[in-house]
Chain A
Amino acid sequence: MVGAAGPAAVKITPLGDGRYEVATDAGRTIAYGARRGGQTWVFLRGRVYVVEGNDNQSRRARHHDETAMSAPMPATVVAINVTPGQAVKAGDVLVVLEAMKMELAVTAPQDGRIRDITCRVGELVQPDVPLVAFDEPESSNESR
Chain B
Amino acid sequence: MAPFKRILIANRGEIAVRVIRACREMAIESVAVYSDADAKSLHVMLADAAVHIGAAAPAASYLSIDAIIQAAQSSGADAIHPGYGFLSENQDFAAACAANSITFIGPPADVIATMGSKVAARELARKAGAPVVPGETPREQTDAAIADAARHVGFPVLLKPSEGGGGIGMKAVRNDSELLSAIGQARREALVAFGDGTLYIERLIDSPRHVEFQILADAHGHIVHLFERECSIQRRHQKVIEETPSTAVTPALRRRMGDAAVAVARAAGYRNAGTIEFLLEGRGDQASFYFLEMNTRLQVEHPITEQVVGVDLVAAQIRVAAGEPVPWIQSELSQRGHAIELRIYAEDPARGYLPQAGLLALYREPRLPGIRIDSGFVEGDEVSVHYDPLIAKLIASGETREAARHRAIAALESFPILGIRTNVGLLLELLQHPRFVSGAIDTRFLDAEAEALRARLITEPPPEALAVAAAVSDTPSSIANDPWSALRDLRL
- Which residues of chain A have a CB within 8 Å of any CB of chain B? 1, 3, 5-6, 8, 10, 12, 14-18, 20, 22, 24, 31-36, 40-51, 53, 72-75, 78-79, 96, 98-104
Contact = CB atoms under 8 A, between A and B. Distances in A.
B388 A33 contact: no
B42 interface: no
B354 A48 contact: no
Contact of B418 (A6, A22, A32, A79): A32
Nearest to A30: B414
Contacts of A101: 168, 192-193, 388
Interface string B417-455: 111011011001000000000000000000000000000
Nearest to A23: B464
B385 A99 contact: yes
A1 B168 CA distance: 49
A10 B468 CA distance: 9
Interface string B357-382: 11101101000000000000000000
9 contacts: A31-B465, A43-B418, A49-B469, A51-B465, A99-B355, A99-B357, A100-B385, A100-B386, A100-B389
A49 B461 contact: yes
A142 to B, nearest CB: 34
A144 to B, nearest CB: 32
Given A12-B467, A17-B485, A34 B354 contact: no
A139 to B, nearest CB: 29
Nearest to B474: A1
A109 B468 CA distance: 36
Contacts of A46: 409, 412-413, 424-425, 428
Contact of B472 (A15, A33, A47, A79): A33
A35 to B, nearest CB: 6
Contacts of A43: 362, 416-418
Contact of B356 (A34, A44, A73): A73
B188 interface: yes
A66 B359 CA distance: 25
B425 A47 contact: yes
A31 B469 CA distance: 10
Contacts of B485: 15-17
A119 to B, nearest CB: 16
B412 A41 contact: no
A22 B463 CA distance: 11
Contact of A100 (B357, B361, B465): B357
Given A1-B471, A48-B417, A73-B385, A103 B185 contact: yes
A102 to B, nearest CB: 6
A105 B409 CA distance: 34
B354 A104 contact: yes
B425 A35 contact: no
Contacts of A24: 464
Nearest to B236: A102
Nearest to B475: A14
B99 interface: no
Contact of B486 (A15, A17, A42): A17
Interface string B177-195: 0000000010011001100
